[in-house]
Structure 1
Amino acid sequence: MQGDTGVVVIGAGMGGLAAALGLAAKGVRVTVVEAGDLPGGKARGVPTPGGLADTGPTVLTMRHVLDAIFAECGTRTEDELTLIPLPRLARHFWPDGAMLDLFTDFDANVEAIEAAFGAKEAAAFRRFDKVTRGMWEAFNEPVIAAPKPSLGRIIAATLARPKLWPALRPGLSMLDLLNAHFNDPRLVQLFGRYATYVGGRPAQTPAVLSLIWQAEVQGVWAIAEGMHGVAAALARVAERMGVQFHYNSRAKRIVRKEGRVTAVEIENGTSIPCSGCVFNGDPGALRDGLLGDAARASMEDTKRPEPSLSAWVWAFGAKPRGVELAHHNVFFTADPELEFGPIGVGRMPEEPTLYICAQDREMGTELPEWERFEIIMNGPAGHQPFPQEESQCRARTFPILESMGLTFEPEPEGPALTTPALLSRRFPGSQGAIYGGSPEGTLATFQRPLARTDLKGLYLAGGGTHPGAGVPMALTSGRHAAQALTSDRISAAK
C-alpha cells in the first residue's frame, strides 16, 4: 500500500470536503488544493452591508448526511453550526394575487391548499404526496444512498409497489405526472418547480424526480452562518483532524506513473506526491484535458452529458418593502412557457419565475436594518455574455417583483450579479451549469460518473457525479469517494 504519500483532494467544495473528512477519519493523510481563497465551491458568501450573503445553494435538506459526516469525525453538527428547523418550507406567490405557504406538516399542507385552491386540489395533493412518498421509499436506498445505482434493487422495490407503476412509465415527465394529479395550473407550477432544484425543466425531467418533494418535506433547515458557513465548518473540522489546505492553488495536472496516480502538479510549479486523488470539480474539466492527458483518458468511456440549467444570481443587502417574506420564497410567472421556452433555446427567460432567499427571516432573531438576499433566475448553461446583459437581467427581475408588491431599497449594483458566463469561468468544464449534468431524459440518473474512474487512484466527487446535485447529494458523493478510495487501499495492501 502506498499510503505513506497520502491523498490529494482537488477542490474544497462540499464533495471535496466530505471526502477529505471521510479519509482523515480513517487515518489517511490528506492535502486539499483549492483554486479559490476559501472553501465552499459554489457555496460562496459575498459582502453586503448586512454581512455575508449566500450566492449559491440556500436549502439544506437531508440533514442526516451532514450529521453522519460530523459524527464520523467525533463531533456534532450542533457543536459546529447553528441550524434552525423551518416549519415553513416556502412561501409562494402568483401574479393573480394567490399565495400559498407549504410546511413540513402534512395536515397543514392539506389545510393550506384547500383554503387557497379548494377541496378537490387538496385531495389531489393527498394522492400526489402518497405517490411521491412511495417513490422515495423505492428509490432512496438503491439509488440516492448507494455508491452505484442498483437496477436489481430498483426493480425489486418497484415490483413490490404496483401502485407506483403508472407513475414510472418510461417517457413520463414530471409535468405529465402533475397534470394527471392537479387541475389547477398553479399547483402544477409549484410542484414542477422541483425539477429546477436539480437543473431540469418540468416537461423534460422524468416523473420519478417528483420524489424531491419528499426530501424537502422531511425537513428544511436554515443556517445562521449561511450555507457558506457549512463549508467553513467542514474545513475547520478537517484542519483539526490534520488535513492541510492550500488555497489560491489551482491544480494543473494529475500525474500518472505505471498506470496509477502518483502526484498532483500545481500551477505554481509545486508537485505533491500522492497515492490517490479525489477530483471535486466538474467531470467536464477532466474530459477537456484541463488536468492532463492521464485524467482525460480516465473519462474516455463516460458520456459527456448535456449540462443542467444555470442561473443569474443576485446576492445583496437591502431594506425590503411591501410583501411579507418568509425565509424561502418563490414568485411565479403567469406563463411557464415564457420562462422555459426561451431557456430551451439558450436565451434568458422573458418572464421568469424568481426564487428569493431572505437569509435573515424566520431565524428567531430580530430583523437587522439591512437584510441579506439571494435572488435566482434560472437560465441556460453555455450562455455567453452579451451587451447589456446586466440591464436585461435587472429589467426581468425587479420590475416583476415590484408588480407583485415587493421592492428593495436600494436595488443591487452590477457586482452583486453572478452570470452563467461567470460561473463557467469560475468552474472550468461546467459550461456554467450549476447542477452538473442535466437530469432530463429517462436514463440521466444512471449516466452520471461514479466515484471510481478508469485511472487507478483517481476518484470523483461533487454535484457532477452520482448521486447528483444539491448539498446533501454532493456531500454523499464525497463520502462515496472516500469509501471507494479507502477500500481500494486496503485491497492493495493485502
Structure 2
Amino acid sequence: MRRAGERVVVIGGGVAGLVAALKLAARGLEVELVERQSHPGGKMRALPAGDARIDAGPTVFTMRQVFDDLAQDLGERLEDIVRLRPADRLARHAWDGDGGDPAKRLDLFADVERSAEAIGAFSGPAEAKRYKTFTQEARKIYETLDRPFLRAPKATPVGLMQHAGPKDLWGIKPFDRLWDALGRHFHDPRLRQLFGRYATYCGSSPFQAPATLMLVAHVEQSGVWLIDGGMHGFAQALADLARRHGVTLHYGRTVEEIELQGSAVSGVRLDDGTRIQADAAVCNADVSALADGKLGRRAARAAQKTPPAMRSLSAMTWTFLGNAGGFPLLHHNVLFCRDYRQEFADIFERRRLPDSGTVYICAQDRGDDGTLSDAARERGSERLFMLVNAPPTGDVNRFDEPEIASCEERHLALLSRCGLDLEFDRATRTVTTPADFARLFPGTGGALYGRATHGWRATFQRPPIRTRVAGLYLAGGSAHPGPGVPMAAMSGRLAAACLMADWGLPDRATDAQGEPAGKAGSASGWASTGRSRRAVTSGGTSTR
C-alpha cells in the first residue's frame, strides 16, 4: 500500500491529464504535469487571428455534471471557475442544394418536444413521432451501457453481461450498424444523415459504427453549454485550478522516456536530460505514441499501436476572421453534402480528401439564437471555425497546396449552395491538415480519436486504463470509447481512481475497483450517493 504524498507524473496537459492531476492532487499526492506545448489543453487549442483567438479544437461543453462533480471534489464550484450559459438551440442544419430556403433548414433543441415539433414541420408528423421513439431507444442504450461501457476502466463482454444482462444487451441491438438502425427509425434520408453524424463524434463512419452510438442522442438532447472564453479558456482555467491545488506544471517540455526500475515506473526523463522521480505515471498521450516507443522502448510494451487501417477520422480545419451573409448562422451549424456514403468511402476506403464532405461551422461570436456579440460588432468581423472530415494519413500524405486549395474551394461552393456566403481576411486564416495534426499529436497519423469505432468489437479493442507496466495508467480519447471532452475527462478520472485504488487510497466517488460509484444510467455518470443535487447532462456538436 502506498502513502499519500508520494509523487505521480502526468504526461500531457489535455483535459484527461488535467482532470487526473486534479483528482490525484485533491487526494494529497504530489503531482507534476509535463506538457510539450507552451500551453494546456491538448486538442482544446486556440489559434491567433489578428487580435483575436479562435478555438480550433472541441467547440462545445457537454455533460456539465462531470465537471461539477470534479469541482465539488476539490471544494470548489464550477461557476467560480468558468462562466457557462445553457444553449436553447443545439445546432442549425442545412443540406447541399437547398438554396438557402428557410423551410429546408432544421434546428434541434435541448427540449425533445421542441425538436419533435421542428422535425414535424420539416419532415411531417410521422417523422416527428418516429423521432420520439428514437430518443426513447437512445435513452435505453445509454442506461444500459452507462456503467459497463462509459465508466469502466476496461470494457469487456463479460462486464457488459454482468452489469446489463443478456436481455437488455440484446434489446439494444449491439451487432447492428448505426446507418441501418437509423433507416428503421427515419424515412426522411436527411434525418438519417443528420443522426448518422453521431458516428463522427468518435471519429467513425456511420456505415461501419455500431448502432449503440445512438446513445449520443440521449446526451445531446439534454443540452449544450457555451463557455465565456471558449474551450481553450476552459482548459486554461483547469490548469490554473491545478496550480492552485499544488500541481507543478511544466510547459514546453517533452518526456523522452518513461523510466522503469525492474518492471515498474520509477520516473521520467525530459528532453533536456532532467529526470523527475515518480512512483507512477498517467500517460495522456495517444496510445500509438506510447506503443511506437516515443516515450521509451521499455514502456512501449504497455500499449498496442493502432493499425493505420483502424485509425479514426482526421480533419481539415480553417480558422479566420470574416463575415457571413445569406444564411443565419447559430453558434453551431452543420451543412450536409448530398452523398454521405461517398464522403466516408473517400475517407476510409480511398484515403483521400472527400470530393464533397459535410461542413461544420462554429460561429464563436454568436449565441444559440444567432445574435452577434458586441466584440464582433466592434471588430467588424466574427471568429469562424470550419471543419471537414479527412483521412488519418498525415504521416504518409501531406496533401500539397493545390489539393488543399481545391478542397477549400469545393466546400465553400457547398456552403454557397446552402445559401451561405463567407468573406474572410486571408491574413487571419490558418489551415490545419492531417499532416499538421500528425505533427501536433505524434503517433496518430493525424487521427483525432484514437481507434475508429467500427464494428461491435471495437469497444473491446480499446486499451485498458491499467497497463501491463506497474504504475503506468492511460488516459485520453484513445483510451476511452466515448466521444468528446467529457469522455476524455472521464478517462482522466478513471486513471486517477485506478491508481488510488491500487495504492489503497480509494476515492470517495469510486468503488474498490477504481470504477465511479453511483446509479447506472444517471445523467452524470459520476453522482455519488452523498449528493442530492440533480444532474444536468449536456451534449452537442464538437470537433471530436
- TM-score when normalising by structure 1: 0.94
1:409 maps to which of 412, 423, 427: 423
Look up the SS of the partner of 1:168 in the other structure. coil
> Residue 158 and residue 10 in structure 1: after superposition, are their counterparts in 2 closer, same or farther (change >3 A)?
closer
SS in 1 for 2:338: coil
Q: Which segments of 5 or more consecutive residues in structure 1 lack a partner in the other structure?
A: none
340, 351, 370: which is aligned to 1:336?
340
Question: 8 Å contact 1:436–1:469 — kept in the other structure?
Answer: no
Alignment match, 1:375: 386
Residue of structure 2 in register with 1:249 after alignment: 253
Following superposition, the deviation at residue 468 of structure 1 comes to 3.7
Distance change (3 Å), C-alpha of 1:414 and 1:336? farther
1:188 pairs, out of 174, 189, 192, with 192
Aligned counterparts of 1:409 and 1:214: Cα–Cα separation in 2 = 36
Cα 1:410–1:30 shift into 2, 3 Å: same
Deviation of residue 78 (structure 1)? 0.8
| Alignment pair present for 1:358 and 2:363 | yes
What does residue 492 of structure 2 align with? 478
| Contact kept? 2:61, 2:485, Cα under 8 Å | yes
Residue in structure 1 matched with residue 31 of structure 2 by the alignment:
30
Q: Is the 8 A contact 1:448 1:468 kept in 2?
A: no
Alpha carbons of structure 1 residues 120 and 96: separation in structure 2 relative to 1, 3 Å: farther
> Where do 1:273-312 residues align within 5 Å?
273-299=277-303, 306-312=310-316
Partner residue of 1:262?
A: 266
Show the counterpart of 1:137: 143
Instruction: Quote the residue 2:154 is aligned against.
Output: 148
Question: Residue by residue, what CA displacement relative to the aligned partner does 1:311-369 show, whole Å, maximum 9, x if unpaired?
Answer: 00111221211110111100011111331121122100101110011111116754533
Output the aligned Cα RMSD: 2.1
Letter in 1 for 2:345: G
Contact 1:314 1:416 in 2 (8 A): yes
Alignment of 1:57-456 (within 5 A): 57-97=58-98, 98-149=104-155, 151-152=157-158, 154-155=160-161, 159=165, 165=170, 167-170=172-175, 172-299=176-303, 306-344=310-348, 345-362=350-367, 365-366=373-374, 367-368=376-377, 369-383=380-394, 384-387=397-400, 388-410=402-424, 412=426, 416-456=430-470
Partners in 2 of 1:390 and 1:479 — Cα distance?
39
Q: Give the corresponding residue for 2:504.
A: 490
1:158 and 1:118 map into 2 onto residues whose CA distance is 36
Deviation digits for residues 62-100 of structure 1 (CA, Å, limit 9, x no counterpart): 111111112111111111111111111110001242100
Q: Which residue of 1 aligns with 2:472?
A: 458
- Inter-partner Cα distance in structure 2 for 1:222 and 1:417: 24
Which range moves more in the overlay, 398-407 or 209-218? 398-407
Q: Distance in 1 between matches of 2:164 and 2:96?
A: 39
Partners of 2:55 and 2:231 within 8 A in 1: yes
Task: Answer with 228-237 or 303-312: which moved more.
Answer: 303-312
Counterpart of 1:10 in structure 2 is 11
Equivalent pairs, count:
489
- C-alpha contact (below 8 Å) 1:50/1:370 kept by paired residues: no
Distance (whole Å) between structure 1 residues aligned to residue 248 and residue 232 of structure 2: 19
- Residue 155 of structure 1 deviates from its aligned partner by 3.1
What is the rounded CA distance, in whole Å, between the counterparts of 1:50 and 1:84 in structure 2? 25
3-state SS of 1:112 partner: helix
The one-letter amino acid of 2:477's match is G
* C-alpha distance in 1 between matches for 2:164 and 2:76: 38
Letter in 2 for 1:448: R
